[in-house]
Structure 1
Amino acid sequence: MAATLAIPLPAAYRSEDVLDFHRRDSESVAEQVSATSLRKGVMFDGVPVVLEVQIGSQAARCRIDAGGKVGKRLGAVAHDALLNILGLRIDPAPFMQAVRGDALLGAVVQRIPGLRIVQSATVFEALTWAIIGQQINLPFAIALRRTFIQQAGRQHASRLWCYPEAADVARLDLDALTSRKFSRAKAETLLRVARLADSGELSLARDDDPVRAAHALLEVKGIGPWTVNYTLLRGYGYADCSLHGDVAIRTALQRLLGADSKPDLARTEALLARYAPHRTMAAAYLWASLNQPAG
C-alpha cells in the first residue's frame, strides 16, 4: 500500500526549473517528467521505491510506492528524499538579499528570482553522479549514469529503474563498468566508495556534519575537491560550497566580467569568497547565468 503526503511549497516556487533538472535524461530511465509532475525511482534499504510528485500552486502532492506497506523508517527516508528532489533544502532569500546591488550577480538574481538548488535523492546518488561526471561533457555523463543505473539498480514493479544504493554497486565487478565505456579510474573510484559505504567505513548519512564529511571524502583515492564540493551541494544541501574548480563556473565569471579568458582557480576562489556563507547559491546563479542573455 502506497503512502501519500503533501509538502507545502514556498511562494513563487520555480517548478519548471526543478522539473527541467530531472528531465535531463531524454530516455527517462529512472525519472519520468511531465509538465507538472515527476516520477523518480530510487533504492531505499534494499527496496525499489518510486516517488511520485504532482506539483500544485501551493503544495506538492506526493506518493511513495514501495510495492507494499510503507513503514515509519522508509517513510522518513522517502520524505527526506522528496525535500531534496524538490529543491527545498536551501532558502534562496538570504542570498538574494545579500547580493542586492552586487556588481557581479545582482542583475542575474533580479532576472531569475527565487532560484532553487535541486538535490539528489540521497548522498550516495550525489557522490556517484559527481564521480561519473568528472571531466566529461554532460551528454556523455548522462549516458554513463544511465548505464550505471541499469548495471547496479533494480526495476520497480512499474518498470521504472531505481537508482542503486551502495550495496548494489559494491556487488559489481570492474568489467561491468569498464566494458561499458567507463574509464578504469572512474570505475575503480565508484566501486571503492560503494564498498566503503556498504561496509560502514565511509558514512554518507545526510545529517552528517558537512565539514567532517568533506574531510572523510578527501581521504578516498580518486576523490578531489571538486567532487567533494559537488557532493556537499547535491547531497548534503550545504549552503557554502566553493565550486571554484568547476569549468562552467569559471566560464560564467569570464562572461560576467567581460574578460578575455577564464579566471584561474585562485582568482575564481577569491571571487566566490565574497559570497560566503552563500557560495552554493552563488554557484547556482552562475550556472543559470549561462542560459541568460549577456549584459
Structure 2
Amino acid sequence: MQSPHLFLFLPLLLPGMWADSEAELKVLRVLQTSLFTNSSSAEVYGLALLRDIPIYTMDRVNWTLSVQQPWAQRAAAEGDAVKIAAHYKTALRNMIRYMHDTAQDMAMEYPFVIQIHAGCVVYPNETASGFMDVGADGRGLVAFKAERRRWEAQQLSPLAQYISKSLNRNKSVMELLEHLLTILCQSHVLTLYRYGKADLERQEPPVAAVFARTASPAQLLLVCRVTGFYPRPISVAWLQDGQEVPPGPALNTSSILPNADLTYQLRSCLAVRPRDGHSYACRVSHRSLGTRSLLIPWENHSPVPTVGIAAAVLFIVAIASAGGIWWWKCR
C-alpha cells in the first residue's frame, strides 16, 4: 500500500529523474519529509522506492518500517535491511536534533519543512554511487557529495552556508553516510533486485484511445489517452496525413502519471481546425510492443454529409406521408 503522504515527496521527484537511460540502472531512493511544527516536535514521513516500486514506508509515530512487497520481505531477511534501518533511525534522531539547534542558531521561524532525497545507483558493472539532497520548504538547500566526502550548499542563503559548513566539520557523520549510501545500499539493492526481478522487469503494454473535444467553433482538440503501461519510458506522437507533427503550440503532452496498479498514464492533445480535410493518428511506442507501434487513427470527417443525408431522409418521409394521405382521400 502506498503512503498516503506521497504527495509530500513530489517536489523531490525532479524532472529527468525517470530518464530512459535509467532502464538499465538499479536505483534505490529514500524520500523523507519532516514537518517541524515547533521547537519541541517534528513529524516525519518516509518512503523507499526501488526504481519506481514502493518498498518500505515508515510509521511517523514510532519510525518502524513496513515492507510493501512480499519479495522485499524475503530480501530484507537475507540482506542488510536490519543494519540499514538501525543506522537510519540513529541518523533521523540526530537530524531532528540538529535542525532544532540550527533553527535556534539561525532564528528560523516555525513551522518549516525539511525534505531529503537520498539513496544509491548501481550501474550495470555493479559499481555504485550514493547521493543525498536536502531541501527546505521546496527549495534545494545542501547536498552530500559521497565521492568527495563533503557537503555543498545549493543556494547562496545564509542557512545553506551555515549548514554545509557545520556538517563538513563532522567527519564521523560523513564517513557513516558514505558507508551507508554506497556499500550497504549497493549490497541491499542487489539483494532486492534478485528477489524482485519478476516485478522489476515486467512489461505491461499500453492501451490507447483517441477522441475529440470542441474547444471553440474554430478549434477542435484531439486527445490521445494512453494508460496501463509499464515500465515508465514511452513515446507518443501525432501524425498528420502520415507525417509526424513537430513540437509547437498546437501540441501538448502531459507528464507521465502513476496509476493505482503501479502502471502509468498520460495524455497528448493536438489542436486542429474542424473539417480541415486532413487525417490524424496517434502513434504510441513502448518497450512492451517490441519493434511495432500502436497506431490509433482519427478521421476528420465533415458533419455536412451526415446533415444532408438526414435532411434527405426527412424529405422522403414527408413526401411518402403526403402521398399516402392523398391516396387514402382519393380512395
Verify same fold: TM over 0.5. no
Using CA pairs below 8 Å that are at least 6 residues apart, which structure has the higher relative contact order? 1
TM-score (norm 2): 0.27
Q: Which has the higher helix share?
A: 1
Q: Which has the higher strand share?
A: 2
Structure whose alpha-carbon radius of gyration is higher:
2
TM-score (norm 1): 0.29
